[in-house]
Structure 1
Amino acid sequence: MLNLKSLAIGATMTLACISAFAQAASAPATPRVDKREVNQDKRIQQGVGSGQLTAKETYRLEKEQAAINKAESKAKSDGTVTKQERRRLHKMQDQASKDIYKQKHDAQTAAKP
């Protein structure tokens, strides 16, 4: 179980580093998207720590966050983030937030060691 937690934390840190690096390359700013991303990562890690999320649930949620990061990078790639792109990113984050809530509050829990 400790290895699973370490893996999840490592994946989150990797995503955060990639996101920070992508922003440093003089890309357009998306502060609301970035702040929500950080908050959602914290919620996932809190769920892992409390046992509310199983390994499979954590994997799916992390994969969803990676897809949002990829969409954000694609939106920034041309040097500007349009209203439509921002709307799409926010919609993706809204869905991810709902998914995190549902997975944390379902009947499944991580096995205790």
Structure 2
Amino acid sequence: MKGYAMKTTKLFAAVLVSAFVLPAFAQSTPNLDKREEHQQERIAQGIQSGQLTAKEAQHLEARETKLANDEAMAKADGKVTRKERRKLQREADRDSAAIHHQKHDKQTR
């Protein structure tokens, strides 16, 4: 039980840190940035409420990290094209659906 609490605490700390790091990226995708922040909050809430297991939260965090990395790559040349923006929005849609699915799959910690 002690190891589980430690993992959950570390995971929750990672969620909080990423919530502060994500807004540091350039603001050429403000809607996506708001979505990422909201999704981070949903994951954190799921951890706190017990709706997400540590493994589920870790998987969702990995998806959010990939989205942030993809966004950084799109912004690397200084402009996010319409095609890149659509791709990022679709990825965010899939991540949002995954968060919903994991929070409502009847698994608890």
TM-score over 0.5 (shorter chain): yes
Q: How big is each residue's C-alpha offset from its partner over 1:69-95, in whole Å with a ceiling of 9 and x where there is no partner?
A: 000000000000000000001000000
Do the aligned partners of 2:52 and 2:108 also contact (CA within 8 Å) in 1?
A: yes
Structure 1 CA distance, aligned partners of 2:92 and 2:54? Answer: 21
Partner Cα separation in structure 2 for residue 45 and residue 19 of structure 1: 15
In structure 1, the residue corresponding to 2:25 is in which secondary structure? helix
User: 1:52–1:105: 8 Å Cα contact kept in structure 2?
Assistant: yes
Is this contact kept in 1: 2:23–2:33, CA < 8 A? no
User: Could you tell me which of 11, 31, 44 is aligned with 1:8?
Assistant: 11
Q: % of aligned pairs identical?
A: 41
Match of 2:65? 66
TM-score, normalised to structure 1, is 0.86
Task: Give the unaligned 5+ runs of structure 1.
Answer: none
Return structure 1 stretches of 4+ with deviation > 6 angstroms: none
In the other structure, the counterpart of 2:75 is 76
Q: Relative CO higher for 1 or 2, CA cutoff 8 Å, sep ≥ 6?
A: 1
Aligned partners of 2:25 and 2:72 also within 8 Å = yes
- The answer to whether the 8 A contact 1:68-1:89 is kept is yes
Contact 2:52 2:103 in 1 (8 A): yes
How much does 1:10 deviate?
1.8
Displacement of 1:8 after TM fit? 1.7
Residues 17-70 of structure 1 show CA distances to partners (whole Å, capped at 9, x for unaligned) of 4323333xxxx5211000000100000011000001001100000000000000
Gaps of 5+ in 2: none
- Mapped to 2, the partners of 1:18 and 1:41 lie a distance apart of 11
Q: What secondary structure is seen at the aligned counterpart in 2 of 1:78?
A: coil
Aligned to 1:42: 41
Task: Supply the distance in 2 between the matched residues of 1:105 and 1:79 (Cα, whole angstroms).
Answer: 39
Name the structure 1 match of 2:94.
95
Would you say the 8 A contact 2:22–2:37 is kept in 1? no
